[in-house]
Structure 1
Amino acid sequence: MEMYEMPCGRFIDPLSDFGFKRIFGSEANKDILIDFLNVLFAGERYVADLTFNQNENNGQISMLRRAVFDLCCTGADGEQFIIEVQRVRQEYFKDRCLYYSASLIRDQVEAGITNWKYDLKPVYLIGLMDFCFEDSSQDHYLHEVRLMKRSNGELFYDKFGLTFIEMPRFLKAESELSTGLDKWLYLLKNLSKLDKIPAVLEETFYDKVFRIAEVCNLNQEEKMAWDAYLKVKWDNENSMDYAKKEAMREGRKEGREEGVKEGMKEGMQTGIQETRLQVARNMKTKGFDAETISEITGLTLEEVRNA
């Protein structure tokens, strides 16, 4: 059997579950998340401080409807932020984001309270997407959704917002980075591909991000977790490629042109889905959580649980 060393870059991927939580999800590094949020909101809201919250809220109907966030935190003034990273297209992603946001709004009323005046704290969700909405245009990667008056476009309610960032549509080169948001999005999209620190990001604040993200600074346990993530990711990609090739071979055996098209389509769909399920089963036996498995395989959480 041919042995080979898995390729590994200098920096971890900040849009992976492991990388995102390592860079943004710890008390010691919350200044990084605060800066990102303040750059993103650009004066609409100023975050002075943050407290990290639990990343799971239970729904009222059943445990199957629990909300599991990538990151949830509360600002110094009580405002709440959900940051979601979604690597693969999901059919009901917008619905899920609304449900997550609504769960934080719902939970602001304390059980047993008799004289609540509906004074809600602001709730914002930020979705970092490694795919694009089907109805978005090529030149728009930032979607800031607010409650507006349809008649005149004026803001109706200033304590709720959804912000979606389509990372594939952010195409600026290093020489084109002019704003703080440009630099953050370039860093998030390209960090794992860099072998040196770009001159435009040679600032004291970004130095901390690079130190945290550098693979050589991971402890043994973190390095094992990162290697395990990479191995599953590459195995999954290789399996997907193999399944597609096999599906194409099966499709060709159907004979006629229409048969080839249908055979390729059906064979590819069946082969890819079975491969995803097998990868999910393998990851479950290795102790990966359902959200990470869903991120890597593209399966829904329900499909992961039933695999």
Structure 2
Amino acid sequence: MLRDRYINLLTDFGFKRLFGTEPNKDLLIDFLNTILPPEHHVRDLTYRNNENIGNTTLDRKAIFDIYCESDSGEKFIVEIQKAKQNYFKDRSVYYATFPIQEQATRGDWNYQLTAVYTVGILDFIFDDHKDDPTIMHVVELKNQQGEVFYDKLKFIYLELPKFTKQIEQLNNHFEKWLFLLKHLYELDTPPAALQEGVFRRLFEVAEIAQFSPIERETYENSLKYYRDLKNVVDTSREEGREEGREEGRREIVANMLRANVSVESISQMTGLSIATIQSIQAALDQR
């Protein structure tokens, strides 16, 4: 039974409820404007189909958490990533090609593009960033002198584990967003420091008591999935005998399979091979 007052924003349901619905787009606009350069601040946005099947039936499709477009044409992919994933940077670049390609027009075209942003909210730290205290990383296409060659393609990554401030230490709007992304579900009441306009709306939207029975069930499943995945990560970090760690991982994968998480998703999120996951699935089927 759920005892928290507010949702966990790092769950799929919590993230999409807050940022991915038309009635709450003011929250997404405020969040984006907190991390975007002033020249690309968003006044309004439209949600786009988050599933892109490519140009032919043979193309691999991409499914974004949130895909939207500003009123001035900029495209935004906004994703939550809960665990390290093999080739995560490669996937980010691949996903960014879809909003680029869809701008092509039939007939004569001068190839002018609008900006494309990929925003990744990460519940992990990149291996090559472990000694870097920077929380927000902005990646652009640059030349050998470090000068920006193309300013319409940007990748923005927020490494949440690096953010450790408590409520009384928050200095600005950006830090308040980071705090809520990490700690909203732990709060019993809205703190005085977070009772400004947009955050008052956030607390209203995120209150579990306002959910319908179907929404509560969906959230509970999403929360269980998040906790199982977190256990996978935590188990992999534990010291001790390898056999024990491996057994723990297999049991958590089994729980994820019971929750109908796809084999491909489990493989991406845990780093285990598809063959290993399929063997666990086969063992479950025989029980």
Q: Cα 1:23–1:195, aligned 2, differ >3 Å: closer, same or farther?
A: same
Deviation at 1:129, TM superposition (A): 0.2
Asked which structure has the greater RCO (Cα within 8 Å, sep 6+), the reply is 2
Q: Cα 1:272–1:305, aligned 2, differ >3 Å: closer, same or farther?
A: closer
Amino acid at match of 2:125: C
How many pairs were matched up? 278
Q: Distance in 1 between matches of 2:136 and 2:53?
A: 30
Mapping for residues 269-284 of structure 1, pairs under 5 Å = 270-284=246-260
Which residue in the other structure is 2:24 paired with? 29
Q: Cα 1:97–1:304, aligned 2, differ >3 Å: closer, same or farther?
A: farther
Q: Distance in 2 between matches of 1:195 and 1:75?
A: 34
Q: Cα 1:61–1:296, aligned 2, differ >3 Å: closer, same or farther?
A: closer
Amino acid at match of 1:30: K
Q: Cα 1:10–1:129, aligned 2, differ >3 Å: closer, same or farther?
A: same
Give 3-state SS (helix, strand or coil) of 2:49's partner. coil
Q: Answer yes or no: is 1:176 the counterpart of 2:169.
A: yes
Q: Which of 208, 214, 218 in structure 2 is aligned with 1:221?
A: 214
Amino acid at match of 1:78: G
Which residue in the other structure is 2:120 paired with? 127
Q: Distance in 2 between matches of 1:63 and 1:212?
A: 40
Deviations 1:17-49 (A, max 9, x none): 000110111111111101111111141411111
Q: Which of 3, 12, 24 in structure 2 is aligned with 1:8?
A: 3
Amino acid at match of 1:128: I
Q: Cα 1:290–1:12, aligned 2, differ >3 Å: closer, same or farther?
A: farther
Which residue in the other structure is 2:147 paired with? 154
Worse-matched range after superposition: 180-189 or 121-130? 180-189
Q: State the structure with more CA Rg.
A: 1
Q: Which of 133, 142, 151 in structure 2 is aligned with 1:139?
A: 133
Q: For structure 1, which runs of at least 5 residues remain unmatched after alignment?
A: 1-5, 249-263
- TM normalised by structure 1 equals 0.80
Mapping for residues 77-156 of structure 1, pairs under 5 Å = 77-110=72-105, 113-136=106-129, 137-151=131-145, 153-156=146-149
Deviation at 1:175, TM superposition (A): 2.2
Deviation at 1:244, TM superposition (A): 9.8
Deviations 1:3-30 (A, max 9, x none): xxx4531110112100011011111111
- TM normalised by structure 2 equals 0.85
Give 3-state SS (helix, strand or coil) of 1:135's partner. helix
Q: Which of 4, 15, 18 in structure 2 is aligned with 1:20?
A: 15
Deviation at 1:295, TM superposition (A): 10
Amino acid at match of 1:166: E
Give 3-state SS (helix, strand or coil) of 2:179's partner. helix
Q: Distance in 2 between matches of 1:135 and 1:241?
A: 20
Percent identity reads 36
Amino acid at match of 1:95: D
Worse-matched range after superposition: 70-79 or 295-304? 295-304
Q: Answer yes or no: is 1:298 the counterpart of 2:267.
A: no
Q: Answer yes or no: is 1:58 the counterpart of 2:53.
A: yes
Give 3-state SS (helix, strand or coil) of 1:65's partner. coil
Give 3-state SS (helix, strand or coil) of 2:40's partner. coil
Mapping for residues 152-301 of structure 1, pairs under 5 Å = 153-234=146-227, 264-265=241-242, 267-268=243-244, 270-284=246-260, 294=266, 298=270
Q: Cα 1:182–1:75, aligned 2, differ >3 Å: closer, same or farther?
A: same
Deviation at 1:173, TM superposition (A): 2.1
Q: Distance in 1 between matches of 2:153 and 2:137?
A: 14
Deviation at 1:217, TM superposition (A): 1.1
Deviation at 1:122, TM superposition (A): 0.9
Give 3-state SS (helix, strand or coil) of 1:124's partner. strand
Q: Distance in 1 between matches of 2:230 and 2:149?
A: 45
Q: Distance in 1 between matches of 2:156 and 2:237?
A: 35
Deviation at 1:238, TM superposition (A): 7.0
Deviations 1:68-114 (A, max 9, x none): 1010001111110000100001121100000000121122214xx23
- Over the aligned positions, Cα root-mean-square deviation in angstroms equals 3.1
